[in-house]
Amino acid sequence: MYSKIIVSLALDQGFGQRALEIARALKSEGGEIIALHVFEPLNGTVSAYVSEDAVAQAMAKVRAGLAERIGDATDVTPVIIKGHSGRSITDYARKEGADLIIVGSHKPGLGDYLLGSTSARIVRHAPCTVHVLR
């Protein structure tokens, strides 16, 4: 059983409810579940053409999407961080002392055949156990 579980939620993929169910099954009594979404900032050249209001609206949409995905679950703490998904999730897990990360893996492309690129990076660099959902 795990005491601090991070459930990585990409809001454009459908792993959310299943991932939360697995987290609940694996959580030890008194454990914590963190639903984590990474808001990836625009790259330098693109950001010059996007207003701060548009970025704020996008962040508000992400907050609403995360809240919707979690629903009325009182046993899950929603967290949004900014950065590159794979790197930010492993850094956050290390900083928070997580002992399990649950991440979904989309249908892979040629470059990341066995796992999606984000899940592959998490598996390689995580400081803890990683449970990958297909």
Query: At the topology level of CATH, where does 2-133 sit?
Result: Rossmann fold (3.40.50)
**What tokens appear for 11 in the block?**
């809001």
> What share of the chain has pLDDT > 90, as a percent?
57
> Would the pLDDT of 109 be above 80?
no
Give residue-wise pLDDT tens across range 38-81: 998 877 787 778 888 988 899 999 999 999 888 888 999 999 99
**What tokens appear for 101 in the block?**
């990360």
User: pTM (2 decimals)?
Assistant: 0.86
- How buried is 119 (Cβ within 10 angstroms: 0-12 exposed, 13-18 middle, 19+ buried)? buried
Q: Distance (Å, rounded) from C-alpha 71 to C-alpha 74?
A: 9
Q: How confident is the model at residue 6 (pLDDT cuts 50, 70, 90)?
A: very high
Average pLDDT over residues 93-111: 83
| Predicted pLDDT at 112 | 46
Domain positions in the chain: 2-133
> Would the pLDDT of 7 be above 90?
yes
Asked if 20 contacts 34 with a C-beta cutoff of 8 angstroms, the reply is no
**What tokens appear for 8 in the block?**
């990585």
Q: Distance (Å, rounded) from C-alpha 93 to C-alpha 128?
A: 8
| Predicted pLDDT at 48 | 77
